[in-house]
Chains A and B, each alone.
Chain A
Amino acid sequence: MKTSKVMNVLMVGVGGQGIITAGNMLSLAAMNAGYDVKKSEIHGMSQRGGSVFCHVRFGEKVASPVIPVGEADILVSLEEMETLRWLDFPAPGGKVICLKNRILPHGVENYPEDTATELKKHGLDYMELLPADLTAATGSAKTVNVAVLGIVAGFLDIPEDAWKKAVAELAPAGTADLNLYAFEQGRKTTIGE
Chain B
Amino acid sequence: MSEKLFLSGNEAIARGAYEAGVKAGAGYPGTPSTEILENLCQYPGVKTEWSINEKVGLEVAYGAALSGARALATMKHVGLNVAADPMFTASYTGIRGGLVIVVADDPGMHSSQNEQDSRNYARAAKLPMLEPADSQEAKDFTKLAFEISEKYDTPVILRSTTRLSHSMSIVSVTERDERAIPGFAKEIPKYVMIPLYAKKRRIAVEERTRRLREACNELSVNRLEEGKGDFGIICGGVPYTYVRECFPDAPILKLGMVYPLPEKLIREFCAKYEKIYVLEELDPFLENEIRALGLDVCGKSSFPAIGEFTPEIVRRGIGGKEPETRKSAVELPPRPPELCPGCPHRTVYEILRDKKLNVIGDIGCYSLGTLPPFKAMHTLLDMGAGFTVAQGVELAEGKEAMKNTVGLMGDSTFAHSGIAGLFNAAYNKRHCVFIVLDNGTTAMTGLQPNPLSGKTIDGSPTVSIDYVKLCEAAGMDKADVKIVSAYNKEEIAGTLDTLLAGGRLSLLVVKGPCMILKRKQAKKQREAAG
Interface centre among A45, A88, A112, A115 (most CB of B within 10 A): A45
CA distance A28 to B4 in the complex (A): 11
Instruction: Given the known inter-chain contacts A27-B168, A87-B326, please indicate yes or no for A45 contacting B334, CB distance below 8 A.
Output: no
Q: Which residues of B (398-446) have their CB < 8 Å from a CB of A?
A: 444-446
List which A62-105 residues lie within 8 A (CB) of chain B: 62-66, 68-71, 81-82, 84-85, 87-88, 92, 105
Contact between A108 and B168, CB atoms less than 8 A apart: no
Q: How far is the CB of B161 from chain A (nearest CB, A)?
A: 11
Secondary structure at chain B's binding surface: helix, strand, loop or mixed?
loop
Partner of A122, one of B111, B170, B326, B368: B326
Q: Which residues of A contact B32 (CB under 8 A)?
A: 43-44
Q: CA of A121 to CA of B333 in the docked complex: distance in angstroms?
A: 20
Q: Chain B 205-231 against A: per-residue CB contact (8 Å), 1 yes, 0 no?
A: 000000000000000000000000000
Q: B331 contacts which chain A residues (CB < 8 A)?
A: 112
| A48 vs B31: C-alpha distance when bound (angstroms) | 14
A1 on interface, CB distance cutoff 8 Å:
no
A65 to B238, CA, bound (A): 9
Complex Cα spacing A109 to B121, Å: 47
Cβ-neighbour of B310 out of A47, A66, A105, A107 (below 8 A): A66
Kindly count the residue-residue contacts between A and B in the assembled complex, taking CB atoms under 8 Å apart.
150
Residue in B closest to A23 when the chains form the complex, CB atoms: B168
**Is B134 engaged at the interface, CB distance under 8 Å to the other chain?**
yes
Are B323 and A105 in contact (CB-based, < 8 A)? Answer: no
B31 touching A45, Cβ below 8 Å: yes
* Closest CB in chain A relative to B112 CB, distance in Å: 8
> Is the beta-carbon distance between B527 and A173 smaller than 8 angstroms?
yes
Contact A36 B338 (CB under 8 A): no
User: Known: A49-B340, A68-B312. Is A37-B170 also a contact (CB below 8 A)?
Assistant: yes
B325 touches A69 (CB 8 A): yes
Q: Taking the nearest CB of chain B, how far is it from the CB of A70, in angstroms?
A: 4
**Which residues of chain A are near B134, meaning CB under 8 Å?**
38, 65
Instruction: Judge if B488 is at the interface, Cβ distance under 8 Å.
Output: no
Complex CA gap A38/B445 in Å reads 23
- The answer to the question of A60 belonging to the interface, with a C-beta cut-off of 8 Å to chain B, is no
Chain B 311-335 near chain A by CB (<8 Å), digits 1 or 0: 1100100000001111011111111
Considering only CB atoms, which chain B residue lies closest to A43 in the complex? B166
The A interface is mostly helix, strand or loop, or mixed, namely: loop
The minimal Cβ–Cβ distance linking B428 to chain A, given in whole angstroms, is 33
Residues of A within 8 A of B (CB-CB), count: 51
Name the residue among A31, A50, A69, A70 with the largest chain B CB count within 10 angstroms: A69
Stretch from B88-96, B239-247, B274-282, B459-467 that touches the partner: B239-247
| A47 proximity list for chain B (CB < 8 A) | 337
Partner of B333, one of A27, A44, A71, A105: A105
Report the nearest B residue to A51, measured CB to CB.
Answer: B335
Given contacts A64-B311, A66-B242, contact A84 B328 (CB under 8 A): yes
Assess whether B195 is interfacial by the CB under 8 Å rule: no
B45 part of interface (Cβ distance < 8 Å): no
Residue contact B337 to A49, C-beta cutoff 8 Å: yes
Q: A50-B336, A63-B245, A64-B244 are in contact. Are A28 and B6 (CB under 8 A)?
A: yes
**Closest 9 interchain pairs by CB?**
A44-B111, A44-B31, A65-B167, A64-B245, A48-B337, A70-B323, A63-B244, A68-B311, A50-B337
24 sampled A-B residue pairs with Cβ under 8 A: A36-B170, A38-B169, A39-B6, A39-B167, A39-B169, A41-B166, A44-B445, A48-B338, A48-B340, A49-B335, A49-B340, A51-B335, A62-B169, A64-B245, A65-B241, A68-B312, A69-B312, A71-B323, A108-B333, A112-B333, A114-B329, A115-B330, A121-B329, A174-B530
Chain B positions within 8 Å of A, measured between CB atoms, are: 4, 6, 31-32, 110-111, 134, 162-163, 166-170, 238, 241-242, 244-246, 248, 310-312, 315, 323-326, 328-340, 365, 367-368, 372-373, 444-446, 527, 530
Chain A interfacial positions (CB closer than 8 Å to B): 14-15, 24, 27-28, 31, 36-51, 62-66, 68-71, 81-82, 84-85, 87-88, 92, 105-108, 112-115, 118, 121-122, 173-174
